[in-house]
Structure 1
Amino acid sequence: MSQPVLHLAELNVGRLLAPTDDPRVAEFMAALDRVNGLGKRMPGFVWMMEGSGEPGTGNTETKIDGDPQFVSNLTVWESVETLEHFVFNTVHRAFYERRAEWFEVLGRMHFVMWWVPAGHRPTLDEALERLKHLEAQGDSDHAFGWKYLKEAQAWKTHGCAQVAAE
């Protein structure tokens, strides 16, 4: 019997320093369509949770705990390598490296990955449960960060500092 095909889901959450229409986050908001559009065209991209589709909003309309500044990015990729390539080897990296200009340091886990069967589209609730599990239990097959994946390498030179979590 063959093994089911698995894809890599990831959730990244953050709290903006200001509301989405504030000039302090304008550069970030203006880049969302470009960066997300690039992601959707990348080899290995499978799916992205999206908001209303209004230009310049990305998925910022999907709130966490009713907080309009708490935003999320939830995507599915064919493999670790394809996600890692997008995160660290495209224009995404420039915005990732500047995240402190637009986002608060949460002081807790804000990023999680897990394997899903091909064709599965995780919900935000499912993803937040995985994030809570990672925070409470640490890396496991159920929920993990970059360091759990032997094939992931770029995060070692470009990843978050421990204080910001992985």
Structure 2
Amino acid sequence: MQRSYHLAQVNIAKALAPLDSPLMQGFVEQLDHINQLAEASPGFVWRLQTDAGDATALQPYEDERIIVNLSVWDSLEALKTFVYSGEHLGLLRNKKHWFEKPDVPILALWWVAAGHRPDLAEAKQALACLRAQGPSAQAFSFAAPFPPPQQPAPVPETQA
């Protein structure tokens, strides 16, 4: 069965230094590999990137040290499996070496119609919504997930 909804996710991080600094080298060296792992993961649908394949070049915030990751997955389970296992988990465990500790939510999840590709404005809105209102059907977290909207009812067949 084809899903009517996919899961969008945005996460941001504020680097301790510019990405071209020696402090960030360990993170930057892993970035292409981790992105390739994501793209090859079961359930991966799409990720925001430039034509050159670089998401870190996108600057939706005034602070240049804030990097953004925006992607779409076919299910919450698929994204959760990627995030919390394998090499990505190792990257997460070392994030304190490269990124400031946040004092607000830096990850938001929300359901989008299958085929929709959210843009940075939509992602920023989801994150702002989660920060302002807490988890809801509009934006939530792994810790407080919401189910996809009700699947559309099948169209009844007309009788001949």
Q: 2:57 aligns with which of 54, 61, 65?
A: 61
Task: Give the alignment partner of residue 130 of structure 1, picking from 123, 126, 131.
Answer: 126
Could you list the runs of 5+ residues in structure 2 that have no partner in the other structure?
A: 148-160
Q: Which residue of 2 aligns with 1:140?
A: 136
Please state whether the residue corresponding to 2:143 is helix, strand or coil: helix
Q: What is the aligned partner in structure 2 of residue 81 from structure 1? A: 77
Distance in 1, Cα, partners of 2:107 & 2:92:
13
Moved over 4 A (4+): none
Give, in whole Å, the separation in 2 of the partners of 1:78 and 1:90: 19
**SS of the counterpart of 2:124?**
helix
In 1, are the aligned partners of 2:137 and 2:146 still within 8 Å (CA)? no
Q: Return the structure number with greater helix share.
A: 1
1:51 aligns with 2:47: no
Query: How far has the Cα of 1:68 moved from its partner?
Result: 1.7
Gaps of 5+ in 1: 152-166
CA–CA distance in structure 1, aligned partners of residues 84 and 7 of structure 2: 16
SS in 2 for 1:84: helix
- Quick check: 2:140–2:146 contact (8 Å CA) kept in 1? no
Aligned to 1:149: 145
CA displacement at 1:15 relative to structure 2: 0.7
Give yes or no for contact 2:43–2:78 (8 Å, CA) kept in 1. Answer: yes
- Partner-residue secondary structure (3-state), 1:147: coil
The alpha carbon displacement at 1:52 in A equals 4.3
RMSD value over aligned CA atoms?
A: 1.7
Identical residues among aligned pairs (%): 37
For residues 64 and 7 of structure 1, the distance between their equivalents in structure 2, rounded to whole angstroms, comes to 23
Q: CA deviation at 1:107?
A: 1.0
Equivalent-residue separation in structure 1 for 2:58 and 2:146 (angstroms): 32
Give the TM-score of the pair, scaled to structure 1.
0.83
TM-score for both structures, normalised by structure 2 = 0.86
